[in-house]
Structure 1
Amino acid sequence: MSSTLSAGYYHPSPTAEYTEDSPGGDFDFFSRLVSSWEAAALIPQSPARGIVVRSGVVLGQGGGAISQMIWPFRLGLGGPLGSGLQPFPWIHIRDLAGIICHALESECLQGIFNGVSPSSPATSNGTFAQELASALGRPALLPVPAWAVRAVFGAERAIMLLEGQKVVPKRTLESGYRFIFPDLSGALKDIVA
């Protein structure tokens, strides 16, 4: 059994780094929801092998986070959200699919895997904005105020965008998975090309 959930399981923090073994899942509605989904996916004494991938912001063409962000950037109106200093856990969609396939095909693997790029812990929202603008050949000068993010995305989703987490794919790397897009600039160039 495989399930893909969110890095929102981990408490937002500008400094703490979270691995698959870090505590979380009990500080707000969304984190408790992720915990409930994980409990359903990882049934004790089940004959099925339980695999859960906690994904960061999934970046890909034609949907997801990029589809909501790309037009302001294409128009030269993009910029960091809020302060831009918050961590931005991300993963290319091909790597997320790759991690799931890797875990399912490796019969010895089970449990939790963080589905974020290895360079994700060093990526801030401001860095993401600069890299996206660069991939599009545009500036990233206009920060989006926190109040506007809350108005567009709602209070619960805005917390994930304005606060973020430094998530490390420790078990994912230890399992032998090799990332196709380990760095942000390469991932974004592939997506917006």
Structure 2
Amino acid sequence: MALKHVVIGGGTGFIGKRLAKTLLADGYEVTTISRMPAFKSITWHELEKNGLPEGTSAVVNLAGQNVLDPTRFWTPGYKQNVWNSRINTTAACARAIERATVKPRAFVSIVGVSHYPAGPQPNTEESKTVEFDFMSRLCVEWEKAANLSDNSICRVSKVRSGVVIGREGGMILSLILPFWFGFGGPIADGKHDLPWIHVQDLCNLIKFAIERPEVSGVLNGVAPELVTNYDFTKAFAAALVRPALFPMPEFVLNLIFDKERAVLLTKGAKVVPKRVQEFGFQYQYPDIRSACKDVARLFA
């Protein structure tokens, strides 16, 4: 398919905006799927009713309610929104691909890494995933929602993303104020693992999965350097030229977010991008120091 036209579910979010910018800079046409009508955009209802835009060469789904929104209580209704916003949108993209007369060549679905168990052993793409809490069950079902029929000619890549490091959103936007004023610090003792990736590397990996015909299946969307929360805290504080002397007690985060979702901040697994590196993907920010140095430039 000659036309480079990518449809992005959740294209107006933190990662989606950066991905659109990355693709547009390389000559792609981009259409986003969002809840409200907009220029170069379709709604989820229009996707269900009319299918993919003509000439779609790839579909990427990044949609999902912000899990760590501190202004929202962790109620059953909010949990359902978190679940549905990921499972239902991914399934909607898969249905649209199945119905398309001319199939896109690639479907890239972004999921999390919460179904990897914590422990001393690094998890590769071949490692067993397990269901042990809400977040792990979400990740398992999220991946299943991206499955296409066995006879589909569209390649499916399931990118298991770690914590995304970027200036415009995510964890950095939540942490910048306390760190900037010298009140930053590790979470508890900071010894838990923090699988992470710079937002530009994640966008480049998505583009890599779209363009490389040999790439499909599970990809660990994480940087090659294994770090702990303490390592990140030290690197981010150094990049901002600020102290980081005030650890955040785990029980405080459990109170703010509820223990069930606070695990995203208080627990972590060792995750390595074995298949990503075997495919030859090149990282722009392979270590936490260079990633933090980049995001700190905006606040210098």
Q: Distance in 1 between matches of 2:153 and 2:136?
A: 27
**Corresponding position of 1:62:** 168
Write the mapping of 1:93-104 to structure 2, written as runs, cut at 5 A. Answer: 93-104=199-210
**Corresponding position of 1:91:** 197
Report runs of 4+ in structure 1 exceeding 3 Å deviation: none
**Corresponding position of 1:27:** 132
Partner SS, residue 112 of structure 1: strand
Normalising by structure 2, we get a TM-score of: 0.62
The answer for unaligned runs of 5 or more in structure 1 is none
Deviations 1:62-105 (A, max 9, x none): 21110111111101000000120000111000000011110110
Aligned partner letter, 1:144: M
Aligned partner letter, 1:73: F
Indicate the structure (1 or 2) with the bigger Cα radius of gyration: 2
1:54–1:114: 8 Å Cα contact kept in structure 2?
yes
Partner SS, residue 71 of structure 1: helix
* 1:190 and 2:294 aligned: yes
**Corresponding position of 1:75:** 181
**Residue identity (%):** 42
1:42–1:111: 8 Å Cα contact kept in structure 2?
no
Normalising by structure 1, we get a TM-score of: 0.94
Partner SS, residue 81 of structure 1: coil
**Corresponding position of 1:36:** 141
1:141 to 245, 257, 265: 245
Deviation at 1:47, TM superposition (A): 2.6
**Corresponding position of 1:48:** 154
Partner SS, residue 143 of structure 2: helix
| CA-atom RMSD in angstroms | 1.1
Partner SS, residue 164 of structure 2: strand
The answer for unaligned runs of 5 or more in structure 2 is 1-106
**Corresponding position of 2:69:** none
Q: Distance in 1 between matches of 2:258 and 2:110?
A: 23
Aligned partner letter, 1:139: P
Deviation at 1:44, TM superposition (A): 4.5
Partner SS, residue 171 of structure 1: helix
**Corresponding position of 2:260:** 156
Q: Distance in 2 between matches of 1:132 and 1:140?
A: 9
**What number of residue pairs does the alignment pair up?**
190
Q: Distance in 1 between matches of 2:182 and 2:142?
A: 39
